[in-house]
């Protein structure tokens, strides 16, 4: 039951965040603006234009809010916002997704490390109990399989996306 719930929630989040809207209107750039992350203030007013999901269209101006403490400088421009994940790029959706993917892979590695330590603790405190030793071994095998899956996913995405299709937009090919 809980696996179905988690899968349903993950699917809903993926669909709502990463699939483009079905409406077609003038893009934000055609309307004379730029896309900004929803929740950020449009410093120069808002426009009617389309941006990717989680983004809104803001008017362009010659200056930017340099001294605002909510913003940071990820790539020599005031286009980032401070979050718990660090300084996230907000001017380019591809760079934002790249940063989130890198963070998620790091979290996956951290969780795997915690499980390996737990399995080692199980085996060290087994006191000769074959069931606990077997449980620790199974956890280690499963964690190493998950780590191999994460590494292979990144390698395959890099090979297919960058090498074959020439899509270097996610930052795998600097």
pLDDT, position 36: 65
pLDDT, position 23: 42
pLDDT, position 1: 61
Query: In the predicted model, is pLDDT for residue 20 greater than 60?
Result: no
- Chain mean pLDDT for the chain: 72
Query: In the predicted model, is pLDDT for residue 3 greater than 60?
Result: yes
pLDDT confidence bin for 142, thresholds 50/70/90: very high
Averaged pLDDT for residues 149-162: 83
Residue 124: in which H helix or E strand, if any? helix 93-124
Residues facing residue 33 across a β-bridge: 59
Tens of pLDDT, residue by residue over 23-82, are 444 556 555 566 666 555 554 455 555 566 566 666 655 444 444 555 666 555 556 777
In the chain, where the domains are located: 2-60, 94-164
């Amino acid at each position: 039951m809980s696996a179905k719930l988690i899968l349903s929630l993950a699917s809903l989040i993926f669909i709502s965040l990463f699939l483009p809207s079905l409406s077609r209107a003038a893009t934000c750039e055609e309307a004379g603006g730029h896309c900004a992350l929803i929740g950020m203030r449009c410093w120069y007013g808002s426009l009617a234009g389309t941006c990717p999901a989680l983004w809104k269209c803001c008017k362009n101006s010659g200056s930017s809010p340099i001294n605002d403490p909510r913003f940071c400088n990820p790539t020599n421009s005031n286009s980032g916002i401070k979050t718990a994940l660090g300084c996230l790029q907000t001017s380019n959706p591809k760079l934002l997704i790249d940063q989130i993917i890198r963070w998620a892979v790091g979290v996956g590695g951290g969780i795997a490390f915690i499980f390996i330590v737990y399995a080692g603790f199980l085996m060290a405190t087994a006191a000769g109990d074959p069931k606990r030793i077997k449980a620790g071994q199974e956890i280690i095998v499963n964690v190493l399989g998950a780590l191999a899956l994460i590494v292979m996913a990144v390698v395959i995405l890099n090979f297919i996306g960058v090498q074959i299709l020439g899509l270097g937009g996610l930052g795998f090919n600097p």
